[in-house]
Amino acid sequence: MKVLLLGGGGFLGSHLCEQLLSEGEEVRVFERPIPGWQKPVTLEDHMEWQEGDFTNTRDLERALESCDVVYHLVSTTLPKTSNDNPVYDIETNVLGTLKLLELARRKPVRKIIFVSSGGTIYGIPKEIPIKETHPTHPLCSYGIGKLTIEKYLHLYHVLHGLDYCVLRLGNPYGERQAVLGAQGAVAVFMHKAFHDETLEIWGDGSVVRDYLYVKDAVRALAIARFATGEHRLFNIGAGEGRSVNDLLDNLEKLAGRRLKRRYVEGRAFDVPVNILDISRAHEQLGWSPQYSFEEGLRRTWAWVASNPVTHDRKTALPA
């Protein structure tokens, strides 16, 4: 089949691209133009690369041409900043996705797989671990936008028969994640730890998250293109929680020294704990994590150590 990766040049998308190519799929990556960004080298002979604007109907129509499966990995905002401009969040993410769905239902698209957010969709949990049936009360516009897109996917399935699958990811981390960005605590803290810089922690470090190694995440995404059965919505996480302080303790072991920590006032949209119940994915998709937290951190640390970064940019496929 021919697979389209919307946002396929980023951290998660680049790993998914490798996974799908290894399984023999024909892959087209759609990315926004980024000045000074080098295109992939080692994989460019094995995939098709297109650049364009996700909110532009013509660009989307060109990207969708002759594709069977679409992975929607695009997000123009982050949980941290989405509340600053909810209008922009809706205009670029939700409306952009509606344009995609309108085009997809008139194209030979067989299925859309959407990467949602297990970390923000549910809000403050009423029970742990969090099942897919848990109430959804996001505390940030980012989570509301993801939830809205989930609802529209269901609507287009009911009205137009467009098949879909939603994966609510925990907190993915791993090689090639941006280390100077505003999202991805593992990569950001690891980069600072490696360079012996001060780590700034929001709150007292007791916030608990479900950290998922990227190789496990993309394996779930790859499986989703074949998913059939009762459910179309799945939590994808490690199924266990780690506090920020626990993460930092593990980084100290990798660094072999104490880290410089600075605790600052917590943020209102940070829920105290988020641990996903992943039993549905195990039962219906036959998926479960294969990498331990410690192994994932060791692999990511080795990548940080061998890839010094001097400026921030969107992570591309390996050169």
Count of structural domains, the chain: 1
In a domain? residue 168: yes
Q: Within a domain: residue 153?
A: yes
Residuewise pLDDT in 10s, the chain (319 residues): 899 999 998 899 999 999 999 999 999 999 988 765 555 555 666 789 999 999 999 999 999 999 999 999 999 888 888 889 999 999 999 999 999 999 999 988 999 999 999 999 999 999 999 999 999 999 999 999 999 999 999 999 999 999 999 999 999 999 999 887 666 789 999 999 999 999 999 999 999 999 999 999 999 999 999 999 899 999 999 999 999 999 999 999 999 999 999 999 988 888 999 999 999 999 999 999 999 999 999 999 999 999 866 444 444 444 3
Examine residue 82 and state whether it is found in any structural domain, yes or no. yes
Where in the sequence is the domain holding 101, given as residue range(s)? 2-173+213-239+275-290
Inside any domain, residue 39 = yes
CATH code of the domain in which 119 resides:
3.40.50.720
Please compute Rg for the chain using Cα positions.
19
Please tell me the distance from the alpha carbon of residue 262 to that of residue 258, in angstroms, as a whole number. 13
In a domain, 131, yes or no: yes
Instruction: Look at strands 242-243 and 208-209 and give their pairing.
Output: antiparallel
Instruction: Tell me the CA distances in angstroms from 33 to 9, 59, 66, 78, 203, one per residue in order.
Output: 11, 12, 22, 19, 36
Do the domain assignments include residue 23?
yes
Structure tokens at 296: 């994932």
Residues with catalytic annotation? 142
Asked if residue 200 belongs to a domain, the reply is: no
Q: Specify the pTM.
A: 0.92
